[in-house]
Structure 1
């Protein structure tokens, strides 16, 4: 088990990789599934949808299922990551999901993973202040829909303002759509799959509150860099 590793960095480290998110709750569905069944059987028998969160090569859901059909990775491999996240005290109900990183060229599952999150303590105050200024807030993320809707409820924004399991191009598309609705759009991001959206926004803000170690091209994509999410309240917008 490896922790404190960015799944996006793992994908970016080698060509032909894709990060796939299972659209089901890790804490109830996956953890209680039969551990020795293959991931493919678990997905197909339970009619679980897949989301491609990030990839460095074009790939479809059908491509992924075709690879999984011959891969021997088991549900227990994902369950191990869920338990590891819970043991470390992270919340797997919000900003989270379980899935795997697949290698398209080798046609194998290279990593299974579960992401768990914690809200920064400033988030609720920042959201309240933005809403007081009549600024609409949206969430576009590679995480699964159920987790993001719980996040939206937690921070008191509409679940209709959530765009779930969107990849790099999908986030940029969200920004383009919002620019047609608003005079200005600010994008706040912290990962490699935010690069195109940061460039597309009127103001692209990179937050380093979670980590100071980011890819050089992510730094170049941002107009402004902040080290605490509260700093976005000081940006003239």
Structure 2
């Protein structure tokens, strides 16, 4: 029997530290579930910014973030939305925002880096949450992730069993590729900036190639892929509070990513 295991990244393979700043109310929140926050308002869209932290950290903090993004042709990826949107719609909201400053994002970057800088492997990503009702940026966001202690061992053990391993994640692609290299997952098996629909499609495509496809996730953005998979595994390793639909969709619930190895082994016997 051929088997593929698809992993989400943040919260599943990586322990994530996340900081959000509400640019309208000048408040900061830590370790918020951005997918859940996005889903709570149909006009919100979670956007990844394709910029390097070192490039923006020394810029003028008083300058509008939208001006920097448009002048430098910074591209973006649409990570999660509650309704169908076009790239032009997102670009218009992003590049014409008049509230978020570079300093808002710099503060998030510095806070996350301060918490993660001692880690040997860190994936640092920044983005924004747009809100159509507000006509622009509602939150600026930075997240830093490090692999869970047995994540690399999990991938190695699965591959030693002849199991194919994949990542389908909403994280920025180039950062995800470096993390995949560290974990030992082939780059061809790594899908970045994956929306819930793309994750579902990845699973559906793999079901044509493998006898069994297993989806391992931790958030509501993994739900469609979990339902599409032959078996769904829900990780509580970072956050034990999960929405009921996720709990109901899970065939297995784990507290450590390495438990995936035993589950796969049991399915083969």
TM bucket, shorter chain: over 0.9
Q: What SS class does the counterpart of residue 105 from structure 1 fall into?
A: coil
> CA offsets per residue over residues 44-65 of structure 1, 9 Å max, x none?
2222221111111222221112
How many residue pairs were aligned? Answer: 236
Q: CA RMSD in A?
A: 1.8
Q: What SS class does the counterpart of residue 214 from structure 1 fall into?
A: coil
Q: Which residue of 2 aligns with 1:147?
A: 175
Q: Which residue of 2 aligns with 1:25?
A: 52
User: Could you tell me how far apart the structure 1 residues matched to 2:120 and 2:97 are?
Assistant: 26
Q: Which has the higher strand share?
A: 2
Q: Which residue of 2 aligns with 1:185?
A: 213
Q: Which has the higher helix share?
A: 1
Give unmatched runs, 5+ long, in structure 1.
none
- Contact 1:101 1:109 (8 Å CA) reproduced: yes
CA deviation after TM superposition for structure 1 residue 219, in Å: 1.3
Q: Which residue of 1 aligns with 2:144?
A: 116
Give unmatched runs, 5+ long, in structure 2.
1-27
CA deviation after TM superposition for structure 1 residue 138, in Å: 0.8
Q: Normalization by structure 1: what TM-score? A: 0.93
Answer 1 or 2: higher relative contact order, Cα 8 Å, separation at least 6: 2
User: Could you tell me how far apart the structure 2 residues matched to 1:96 and 1:68 are?
Assistant: 21
Q: Do structure 1's residue 168 and structure 2's residue 181 form an aligned pair?
A: no
User: Could you tell me how far apart the structure 2 residues matched to 1:170 and 1:16 are?
Assistant: 20
Q: Which residue of 1 aligns with 2:30?
A: 3
User: Could you tell me how far apart the structure 1 residues matched to 2:224 and 2:74 are?
Assistant: 29
Q: Map of 1:95-134 to 2, 5 A cutoff?
A: 95-134=123-162
Q: Which residue of 2 aligns with 1:81?
A: 108
Q: What SS class does the counterpart of residue 229 from structure 1 fall into?
A: coil
CA deviation after TM superposition for structure 1 residue 95, in Å: 4.2
Q: Normalization by structure 2: what TM-score? A: 0.82
Q: Which residue of 1 aligns with 2:247?
A: 219
Relative distance call for 1:170 and 1:45 in structure 2 (3 A) is same
